[in-house]
Structure formats: structure tokens, C-alpha cells
A = this chain, B = another copy of it.
Amino acid sequence: MNTIMHFFSSITNSSEPYMILLPLGLIIIFAKVLSIFCKKIGMPQVIGFLISGIALGAITLIPNQTIFTDSTTAGIDFIAKIGVILIMFSAGMETDLQKIKSSGIASLIVTSLGVLVPLGMGAGLAFLIFPNNNPWTNIFYGVLLTATSISITVSVLKELGKLDSKVGVIIESAAILDDIIGIILLSVVLSLGATNTSGGNVPFIGTSGNSNLDILYVVLFMIGFFAMCALLWWPINKLFSWLNNKWPRHRRIPIFGFGLAFILAYVAESIFGVADITGAFMAGLMISKTKSKEYIDYKTDGETSLLFSPVFFASIGLMLWDLNGITSNFILFGILFVIVGLLSKVIGAGIGGLITKNNLKDSTIIGVGMMVRAEVVIVCATKGIEGELLDDSIMPFVIILIIASSLIAPILLKLLYRHKKDDNNQNNQMNDKENI
């Protein structure tokens, strides 16, 4: 028996692509079973996906298990990445540009307060507990709390049919602005922090030796990205209108749509330093007014819901088990960091909502919707640790913040909307589709 096992284990090297089939099969079955259960008890299905990831993550505790290896986890991450790109592409297509224009000032106020309050509270907490730290380190803890990732909120609002409501549009617009402000803050604090610590090895310092110039470049590249999108707008619109006239409701049109989303997401991140999900969102936005939009969105939803979306959310749940290297004197700060992270965004963005004349319930929804953190915080934290500004004990708490916000926000949103019948009911056509 051992002989034959040894034989097959030697034929089937652990980095073989087929090794991904077991974790993938387990994830989609667990995710679907738990999401059916969640739907039954009136919870968003996304919660079921997340819990399935947490549950399956327990497998990683088994010594020498071969289900979640470095290789299969990398494969899952690729699929999760495609999932989040397609989710944001769909969100872009479903965004009503006219509404964003009309909510422009409101979104700007919501974003500003939704960034400043977490920045202030996070940095304040760090100064309180670590008064002797490099001040830039403490400020960086605040910066970590600024980045919102609204893909889960978008899914929940979609499931509730509220994506195109006034509140939904404010959240989406604010999240786009949030991404921009977030990356500027990251770049600024990293530059200044490294310049002032002398021990830091932030990679881009020392190439120009001039951090102000670096910040200028970052901002210019970000403006460059949106300028490129503006330039591409007309030709992309023409192309997709032409495709739709030539081959109406034909499979090749969503394929070209996916191609556009993938490439624009890549270009955003690799050339312009803007988050890839922002690129995918812009790709969706670009074709949101073409006649082919409805069919592309329908096919995107179909493609996502069967495989990519459960895998994306489960992969976030899986992260919980990635806890190591935590030091005991860091635990108090870490726990408070998570609590401040959750509350500060609700307070900041919520006050922004109140100022811009939303009622208390809508403002709370805005705050809760902006509360969710995801991969952007991880990227920022990694950057801070690499630049020797942050202690790497913060990582487990970053992951707890992501999972906690991902679990709490959908539940609160669902509860907040439960008795809210007075909202605009224009999206009832969503209800006859099964969601995610």
C-alpha cells in the first residue's frame, strides 16, 4: 500500500496544476451549502462564502496536509483575483454616471471625512500606546485604516437591489476617490517616514533623493491614468457599440469586455500605480452607456456567480489562518487597532453622510458600507513592513480587521435595509435574478 502511494505521489508532483482541484471543489461546495443556509436565515450569501473559507482554513493546521499548499493557494489567489476584477467590472457597468455627477460633492465630503477620521483615530491610538515610536510609524498606522475596499459592499448592495440607489452611488463614488486619496497618503507617508528615519530602506527613496519629486510623480501618474481613461472613452464606446450592432447578444462581446477589464486593470496597477480593481471599475464604466452593456453584465454575472465569486470571498476567509509572528506586547494595540478601524470609518463616512443631508439611517448605511477593508490594506501594510516603518506583528490584526469588517458590514447592511421600504424601488428587476 505504501509502495503504491509513494509511486503515485512521485508521479504527481505537489506543484502539478491538478492539485488545485480539491481545494477548489471543497470551496465551491462548502460555499454554496453555507450560502444556502445563510439565505434561509435571512443573511447575505457572501457571509456563507466567507465562513466557508474560515472553516476550510482549519485544514491548514493539519501537519503535512497537501490541500492548501503554497502552490494551490497561489492558484486560488489567481482565481480570486479574476473574481474581484469581474465583480468590479460589473459594478462599473451598473454605475449610473449621471448620479455620480449629481453626487459629486456629497461623495467628496464622505470620502474626505471617511479618510481623515480613521487616519486621526488610528494615529492617535498609536501615539497613545507607543509614545516613543518614530512619529511616522504611528501616522502610518492611521494610514492603514484609510483604505476602503467596497467589493463586498457592492455585492451586498447588488443582492439587495440597492447598487443604483442614491446611497449606493455615494458609496461607489466615494470608494473611487478613497482609492486615490489612499494611495497618495501611502506614498507621502512612506516617503517622508523613510526620509526621516535614515534606517528605512524604502526602495524608491535614494533613486531620486528627493521625496517631494516622488510624491509629485505619484500624483501625476494617477492623473495620467484617469486622463487615459478619458481619452479611451470615445473609441471604446464606439467599439462596443459597433460589436453589438454586428453581433447582437453574441458570446464574443462579453469576451472582449473581459479582455478590456483585465488589461485596463493590469495597466492601472502596473503602469500608473492605481489599484487594479479601479481599472476594472473604469472598464465597466466606459461601456456602461453602450447597447452591449446589458448582455455583457448578464454574462459577467453568470461567469462570476458559479465559480469566481465564491472563491474570492472564501479566499478572504482563508486568510484568518495566516497568523504567525505575533508578539504578546502587541496584542492590546492590535485589538484596539481593529476596533478603531471598524468604528472610525463608520463615524467619519457617517458624519460625511449627515453633512450632505442624508438622514441618520442612510448615513449609517454609508458609514457601514465604507467600513470594509480588503486586499488594499494588506498591500499597504506589506509596503510599510518592507520599508521598516511598521512592526510585522500588525499583519494578523490587519487580517482580523479585514475579516471582521467583511463579516459585520453585510450583516449590518442587511439589517439596516430590512425595514427600509421607503427607499427608491427602481432596482426591483434585480430580484428575479438569483444573486451570486
Given contacts A3-B217, A214-B3, contact A255 B79 (CB under 8 A): no
A226 within 8 A of B: no
Chain B residues positioned under 8 Å from A203 (CB to CB):
6-7, 10
Chain B residues positioned under 8 Å from A15 (CB to CB):
74
Q: Within the complex, what minimum Cβ distance (angstroms) separates A312 from chain B? A: 11
A99 within 8 A of B: no
- Which positions 296-352 of chain A face chain B at CB distance < 8 Å? 299, 302-303, 305-307, 310
A11 within 8 A of B: yes
The oligomer's copy count stands at 2
- Flag if A20 contacts B254 (CB, 8 Å): no
- Compute how far the CA of A246 lies from the CA of B217 in the bound complex, rounded to whole angstroms: 58
- Compute how far the CA of A358 lies from the CA of B310 in the bound complex, rounded to whole angstroms: 48
Chain B residues positioned under 8 Å from A213 (CB to CB):
3
Number of residues on chain A facing chain B (CB within 8 A): 74
Given contacts A217-B3, A383-B11, contact A21 B85 (CB under 8 A): yes
Chain B residues positioned under 8 Å from A208 (CB to CB):
3
Given contacts A218-B4, A252-B36, contact A81 B258 (CB under 8 A): no
Q: Give the residue of B29, B214, B265 whose beta carbon is less than 8 angstroms from that of A259.
A: B29
**23 pairs, A vs B, C-beta closer than 8 Å:** A1-B217, A4-B204, A7-B203, A7-B204, A7-B207, A8-B221, A8-B271, A10-B204, A15-B74, A17-B78, A17-B81, A18-B81, A18-B265, A18-B266, A20-B78, A20-B81, A21-B82, A25-B260, A26-B259, A74-B75, A251-B306, A258-B307, A303-B306
